[in-house]
Structure 1
């Protein structure tokens, strides 16, 4: 029997039970009998969340006296794990699971196999549905599918009969009052205040079981046609069609919109007896469960794009088409969403949209790319925001510190307002320095450059007055694309960046993908097995092995920079031969273009990133080959300390101002003295005022930082006498104080230098 047939058989029985006039307990007792008989299961049980615990509410096969007696906490026992993680379990031997918990009153000791699924309502688990057998075996996919579909129907029925209560009544819309501060992850930094507006009011599914399966199928077909028309129409909007990252985002949307596998899964759900709306929601629930199991941020972002389209399809098929964008924003707004698609963000009035808070989201997601270009602060990974805030609540968004305050008290408002005004005053001061060259008090010119990765980022050159782009991350184009970007598309991007930069230099770093920046179209068995991807097959290592990738990028850069200076930097160089091999690829491509009488760059300058500590030990060997050297402090720090910067327990444990880091950086700076090499720092360290002060004190005269940091660092430079800070740093590195950060802070205060 197919999954659809099994589910349809169960749903038919459920429909008859629910149409009856018996009370809720009798209906659930009948439900477990129907499911058990349909799946030939010796045990079928329903647990519901009541007063903070999972309560055995109905069972076939277990001791009936355990009903309303057996209770499990969230995360306790197999059912507790299912509810806590909103996950499915399928076990041939339940007792072998580390979270197995035996409750003697149930009489379940003779049963070995176990399968359970969460009962989800409004994206929260409100119970579990499970089956058990004496015989040890894993359940077939058809049985799991039937259980998941049944659980979806049960969720609506349980909600209708108000069987979930206590603290979990919040799942059914109980309002919150009083201030609340939630933590998140700053995706686009900034401060903002406004009223909470939900991006997408929930589509109410009034009917779960279908009366006419074929009619429901036709409704889905029509909805798919309309959704595809909308996606195609997006490509004709002003924001698209420019050959930039927006177009690449749209390509991913089209890939999903025309994916036959997605529409087939929805049709299979309709075959089981669900309405069009319920079928879409059913497939969406499966997608969410898969997303929770995905560790790869790139693949998770692809699933977010599919979720965005699922929401769009659900609104079309239900006739509930409006989002907050279509209804219009009437006041300064902080947008609240579980996740958000980039195209949907572009629909909002930019004068009213002040910030975005997401329950999910990641630094590489498509919506972040668009929000950064729009200048809208975004805070992601704010767990539970959707149920903790109400429409219209006052919200203070601090995407600098990574917090969002709901319903603030007056003291909270006053403190935020003062900080906001101080930030605006500082920004005005920094803006006034746009056309001022950053000379120190002693007359030394410091190069303050900016990092970029998108075509739209280049506009910040004029806004900030940066000296150029010290790091253009070419991998961004690869990360937002559904397929490997063709050479012509790469060339167009690089040429546009050079055109926009004008006379200011641009340093293009060759693609740094792999590791924690995996792309599905370059996946391999070797990549999939990596236990420590940051130190694995990535960056230049990947490019040298996949030489066709580097050849195409070399041709694109050489052709884009025809008649101009080209600055190329290779990432994650560990030994001189790697630099030589990469440079040889560029020289070979230049020879090829020369033989075709193509115009070449007037000058090609090659540089390396020092991220791997091993390169510091052979500086004198590689230095004669380099035009410039850039120290990548983000990766360098984690390699020096053997500490994964993505691990929250270690992310802030090792200080950039520790003697170990500063002594290493000092040795690198001294190691290139006497060579005609420009040495600088790329990364977050150079954009922090106290850290930048230390870098200037040990000899670095070129910093490449985020655009937002350019103004603050230019202002800092103008207050420094290099002789004074160099003398202090020399003394501290020779005999480190107990707290280097405290020592530097004290020195800055004595010299009237404001720190972060």
Structure 2
């Protein structure tokens, strides 16, 4: 039987061609030939189908990828050519478990020439991993003489072949399952797990895997219509679950979590997703294999996406695909459905917000993810649930077994599996000490932060979610020094309309109960780009932190700023509105932004609407250039905030998202402190209130330094309010100011070490 080449083609003919390939492979699988003969036939079928001179299959044997069958390469290389995981293009595919599609193979940095194969005349290359039980057990690849990238339909055909080969390999015992699984036989000693803090906190419990991986045993469908009906029924059941979950969420109505779940529901009802699964079934796959094939494509796209927000939305889609796969296969045994029987630390590769909501909050103490990011939906939900989350912990399945005791210290971005007795005692002591500290700090809620020499220091909180607002009363903070309005945009599937924005801002002001709230206009772009609001120009920005973001974006998309201005003004009717513009570089930008608000204010006045009692305009100093023209801007400002997070990376030309640079530049650097002192002096001279917003002000030693250079207002995370209040009550401002003047005039080798010793001698830093 011959197979027509599968090249550039229409969608219907592509499906038909893919079905022909699958039928041919099914015949090969059903034949009585031995495994090697089957592989030899498979490479011939695929090579002819994709019109490629070369098709090769590499399988994992004794830790190496061995050439098992080929069409087009030298037959003498079969069972001779071997590559380590990570070596060459084939090894790269295996190590990353991802697809490669190259017009010119030799241009790839991982290309490794093997002369015994005779592959020197071939230019194009495409390969996909053969995956079994979440582990790569081999690679199937094609090559062509002419330089060209393979079409999307051809890559999908290769992925289907890889799924069929996975079944063939398992049945023929061609690879060592234990070796491929990478399971350590004796996980007995303690294991330290390092990651990224997503939600702070301490927790302990036993390891519970969120879900066992579903192994797809049958790839080729016998009855396409029956498979289609199975998928239809599974979609109906999944959508019912999502709707029920959204209606039962325990966060009240109108919150960010409602928007998160609405986005999630949008994916569940996405017709494009269900259509792609149907097309995969049309090609001859079972329902499970079709869902997995489409999911593989999603994973490919996720790896190609640099935009963290868009990547997080793709994670939501994968979460739904896992749910659909469990429903259609009848394997519904997740840890949530089985129920948690004791305090648990949930382990998962990634997690969707709806899946987290399924768990019993009384038993779920923490979460550890192999992936995850600070902007993910699940992090927003976990923060509201008060559950610590540690992300970016690699190779969890190779380090942690089901039931292993886990100590999770998300504050330090660490976890310990199978801890020793000494580790447990140390953790318990830290946990108890943390509880005591929290109790002591709770007693400071109503204490006014006044220094020993009688100066009142303002301590505000940063917020961005409606659910953050109760912290204002719980901590006894003076107000909200920075309300990040972009969070509403980040958790929404579409641009929030004016009514939604107005409702949120009004509720925030009501929650503040008369305490001041400074609203920062949307700071999106950079590392907070939105899939529904893209830059007009082609290509990605090389340095997004210094690019089209914040006020630059808002002034260009002036309708965005006009809508937000109208919403803030209407929400502040009868109250004082304090609004701050981010990323100001020159005074004209402030003037342009203020003009937008004044225009909307005039419009509301014409309509006879109730207006704010007053509107106070402020700027955020993050761009160092503004310091050189600050004398021109200060007379126009009601207040100024210094954003130390961005300011630090701009001053040092060091991207804070680069792990090699993240810890390199210290906040207690003479360069930063001299800069802040100069700004503070200018602000005091013009009688303009000056606030430091950012992580720097929330750390006791750094806050001490800021007090020493003239800062009298801080806006920090809610968890930092009590420790900073505690510090303020111990400080003599004249003493720290004099000490700081001396250090900055003649900087020591390590200002941090010098200050630490100085503060310790005076008992300034809390236990």
SS at the partner of 2:411?
A: coil
Instruction: State how far apart, in whole Å, the 1-side matches of 2:432 and 2:125 are.
Output: 59
In the alignment, which residue of structure 2 is the partner of 1:336?
347
- Trace 1:78-477 onto structure 2 (pairs within 5 A): 78-165=89-176, 168-171=179-182, 176-239=187-250, 242-477=253-488
Instruction: Encode CA deviations 1:473-498: one digit per residue, 9 max, x unaligned.
Output: 00000111111100000000001111
CA contact (8 A) 2:242 2:354 kept: no
CA distance in structure 2 between the aligned counterparts of 1:517 and 1:725, rounded to whole angstroms: 38
Residue number in structure 1 paired with 2:688: 677
* d(CA) in 2 for partners of 1:271, 1:416: 55
Provide Cα deviations, 1:715-741, integer angstroms capped at 9, x if missing partner. Answer: 111111111111100111111111100
CA contact under 8 A between 2:60 and 2:180: conserved in structure 1? Answer: no
Q: Report the CA distance between 1:40 and its aligned residue.
A: 4.3
Contact 1:439 1:445 in 2 (8 A): yes
Q: Deviations over 1:684-739 (max 9, x none)?
A: 00001110010011111111001111111111111111111111001111111111
In structure 1, the partner of 2:3 is none
**Tell me, which stretches of 5 or more residues in structure 1 are unaligned?**
none
Shifted more, 32-41 versus 654-663: the winner is 32-41
Are the counterparts in 1 of residues 61 and 176 from structure 2 also a CA contact under 8 Å?
A: yes
For residue 232 of structure 1, give the secondary structure of its aligned residue in structure 2. helix
In structure 2, the residue matched to 1:551 is 562
| Deviates most, 244-253 or 696-705 | 244-253
Judge which range, 149-158 or 357-366, deviates more: 149-158
Alignment equivalent of 2:608, drawn from 573, 579, 597: 597
Q: How far apart are 1:396 and its partner, in Å?
A: 1.3
* Residue 519 (1) aligns with residue 530 (2): yes
| Offset from partner CA, 1:632-670 (integer Å, 9 cap, x none) | 000000111111111111111111001000000000011
Matches of 2:318 and 2:114 in 1, distance apart?
39
**Equivalent residue runs for 1:579-594 within 5 Å:** 579-594=590-605
Q: What is aligned with 1:732?
A: 743
Distance 2:152 2:297 in 1: 13
Asked if 2 retains the 8 angstrom alpha-carbon contact of 1:223 and 1:317, the reply is yes
Asked if 1 retains the 8 angstrom alpha-carbon contact of 2:459 and 2:715, the reply is yes
Maintained 8 Å contact 1:467/1:504: yes
SS of residue matched to 1:236? helix
Give the structure-1-normalised TM-score.
0.96
**Cα distance per residue 1:324-379 (max 9 Å; x no partner):** 22222111111111111112212222121111111111111111111111111111
TM superposition shift of 1:70 = 1.0
- The farther-off stretch of 435-444 and 26-35 is 26-35
**1:534 to 2:545 alignment:** yes
Q: Aligned partners of 1:13 and 1:166: how far apart in 2?
A: 27
| More displaced stretch, 344-353 vs 551-560 | 344-353
Q: Does the C-alpha gap of structure 1 residues 617 and 93 become closer, same or farther in structure 2, counting only changes over 3 Å?
A: closer
Q: Where does residue 75 of structure 1 map in the other structure?
A: 86
The CA distance in 2 between the partners of 1:496 and 1:581, in whole Å, is 28
User: Matches of 1:325 and 1:152 in 2, distance apart?
Assistant: 29
SS in structure 2 of the partner of residue 235 of structure 1: helix
Query: Shift of residue 386 of structure 1?
Result: 3.4
Which runs of 5 or more structure 2 residues have no equivalent in the other structure? 1-5, 7-12
2:702 aligned residue: 691
Aligned-partner Cα distance in 1 for 2:417–2:249: 35
- State how many pairs are aligned: 756
Normalising by structure 2, we get a TM-score of 0.95
**Aligned-residue offset at 1:23:** 4.2
1:62 match: 73
- Residues in 2 aligned to 1:53 and 1:302: alpha-carbon distance in whole angstroms: 36
Q: 1:175 to 1:343 in 2, by over 3 A?
A: farther
Cα distance, 1:755 vs. partner? 5.8
Residues 632/285 of structure 1: CA separation in 2 closer, same or farther (3 Å cut): same
Report the counterpart of residue 714 of structure 1 in structure 2. 725
Whether the 8 Å contact between 1:544 and 1:582 is mirrored in structure 2 is: yes
**Relative to 1, partners in 2 of residues 1:51 and 1:431: Cα closer, same or farther, differing over 3 Å?**
farther
CA contact (8 A) 2:442 2:722 kept: yes
Q: Contact (CA 8 Å) 1:379, 1:399: kept in 2 or not? A: yes
User: What is the aligned counterpart of 1:644 among 641, 651, 655?
Assistant: 655
What is the CA–CA distance in structure 2 between the aligned matches of 1:125 and 1:343, rounded to whole Å? 29
Q: CA deviation at 1:628?
A: 1.1
For residue 607 of structure 1, the aligned residue among 589, 611, 618 is 618
Shift of residue 524 of structure 1?
2.1
- The range that moved more, 579-588 or 55-64, is 55-64
Q: Distance in 2 between matches of 1:51 and 1:688?
A: 51
The structural deviation recorded for 1:88 is: 2.2
In 2, distance between residues paired with 1:414 and 1:62? Answer: 61
Matching of residue 703 in structure 1 with residue 714 in structure 2: yes
Residue number among 36, 50, 53 corresponding to 1:42 in the alignment: 53
Q: 1:577 to 1:527 in 2, by over 3 A?
A: farther
Q: CA deviation at 1:280?
A: 0.4
Change (3 A) 1:518 1:162: same
Task: Note closer, same or farther for the CA distance 1:276–1:175 as it changes in structure 2 (3 Å cut).
Answer: farther
Q: CA deviation at 1:173?
A: 8.5
Residue from 499, 506, 512 that aligns with 1:495: 506
How far did residue 169 of structure 1 move? 3.4
Deviation (angstroms), 1:243: 1.7
Q: CA deviation at 1:152?
A: 1.6
**1:170/1:405 CA distance change after superposition, 3 Å:** farther
Q: Equivalent of 2:664, from 653, 656, 679?
A: 653
> Do the aligned partners of residues 37 and 620 (structure 1) sit closer, same or farther apart at CA in structure 2, a change above 3 Å counting?
closer
How well do the aligned residues superpose, as a CA RMSD in angstroms?
Answer: 1.9
* Structure-1 separation of matches of 2:736 and 2:218: 72
For 1:712 and 1:108, the matched residues in 2 are separated by 66
Q: Which moved more, 1:223-232 or 1:459-468?
A: 223-232
Instruction: Give the 3 Å change call, closer, same or farther, for CA 415–161 of structure 1 in structure 2.
Output: farther
